[in-house]
Structures are given as structure tokens and as C-alpha cells.
């Protein structure tokens, strides 16, 4: 293990990122044809280790965000909300500027599920930030309804029950 770690550490950081990215993309292409969740999660973990800087073709970014979305949804099914939150955040990090216009449904889903998972793991501040982003960018009331619910729950969980009730009344009024 130490020899392997020493060899790995001899690679420059940017080459390590590129190596993880290439391995992850190869696994990801295989995971779409197979229904093995372990391959999907291994692929996404490798891609995420590479990070957004390793993406050489920016058209891949939305596909990588979609794969992170799938991995996050799988993690939610397994009740691993911490891992799911991490996948959704990584998916968000791969989105390019202008993603709300170009990939609205993907952006909406990533931010909404990130808010939900952040609430589940007790990160109320992150839950509120993701919710506010959706409320700011949503195209319709229905698109923001789920995060409105999440934000009222976050207020209630943070011992701000009067604020939560007020927000609920405002939502019901709309």
C-alpha cells in the first residue's frame, strides 16, 4: 500500500486529476449499459476526484452532472443522505455558467435534491442556500414548491417556528 501511495504521489496533481477523470468516464460509459449500482458509484467517485478542472470538453459537464444526479438518487434510495448530498453538490460544481438557461431541469433537480439532503443531514444553512437559489431561478411557482416546503422545515428545525409558520401562510396565500 505504501509503495502504491508513493507512486501515486509522484504524479503531479493535475495529472492525478486527469487520471481519475479518464478512469471515471470509462467506468461511467460502462455503467450506463449495466444496472450495477456499484459501477456507477465507483465511476462517479473517480470523476469527482478529478473535479471540474479535469474536464477538457465542456460539453461533458452536463453529462457528468447527470451521472452525479443518478448517483445521488441511488444514495438516497440507500438512505445515505450524506453521500447523496455530496453527489448533488459535485453535480452542481460541474455545471457551466448559464446552466439555469441551458439545463434548467437538471439544475432544478440537483439544487432541489441537494436542499433536501442538506436538511436530512442537519446542514440547515446549505439547505436554505440551495432552496433560495431554486426560488430565485425557478420558472414557475410549481417548480419552487418543493424547496419552499424544505425551507419552511429548515426554519422549524432551527427553532424559528414563528418564521416557519409565517412562510407557510405566505406559500398558502400564493
CA nearest 170: which of 148, 154, 153?
A: 148
**Reported pTM:** 0.86
Q: Give residue 34's pLDDT.
A: 58
Q: For 44-71, what is the mean pLDDT?
A: 89
Burial class (CB in 10 A: 0-12, 13-18, 19+), 147: buried
pLDDT digit string, tens, across residues 163-172: 888 888 888 8
pLDDT digit string, tens, across residues 110-137: 999 999 999 999 999 999 999 999 999 9
Q: Give residue 134's pLDDT.
A: 95
Amino acid at each position: 500500500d505504501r509503495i502504491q501511495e508513493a507512486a501515486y504521489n509522484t504524479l503531479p496533481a493535475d495529472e492525478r486529476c486527469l487520471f481519475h477523470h479518464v478512469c471515471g468516464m470509462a467506468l461511467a460509459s460502462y455503467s450506463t449499459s449495466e444496472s450495477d449500482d456499484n459501477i456507477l458509484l465507483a465511476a462517479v467517485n473517480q470523476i469527482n476526484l478529478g473535479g471540474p478542472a479535469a474536464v477538457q470538453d465542456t460539453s461533458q459537464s452536463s453529462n457528468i452532472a447527470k451521472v452525479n444526479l443518478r448517483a445521488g438518487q441511488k444514495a438516497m434510495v440507500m438512505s445515505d443522505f450524506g453521500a447523496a448530498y455530496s453527489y448533488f453538490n459535485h453535480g452542481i460544481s460541474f455545471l457551466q455558467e448559464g446552466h439555469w438557461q441551458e439545463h434548467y431541469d437538471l439544475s432544478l433537480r440537483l439544487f432541489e435534491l441537494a436542499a433536501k439532503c442538506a436538511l436530512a443531514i442537519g446542514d440547515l444553512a446549505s439547505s436554505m442556500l440551495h432552496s433560495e437559489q431554486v426560488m430565485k431561478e425557478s420558472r414557475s411557482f410549481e417548480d419552487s414548491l418543493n424547496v419552499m416546503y424544505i425551507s419552511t422545515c429548515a426554519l422549524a428545525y432551527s427553532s424559528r417556528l414563528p418564521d416557519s409558520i409565517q412562510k407557510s401562510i405566505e406559500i398558502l396565500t400564493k
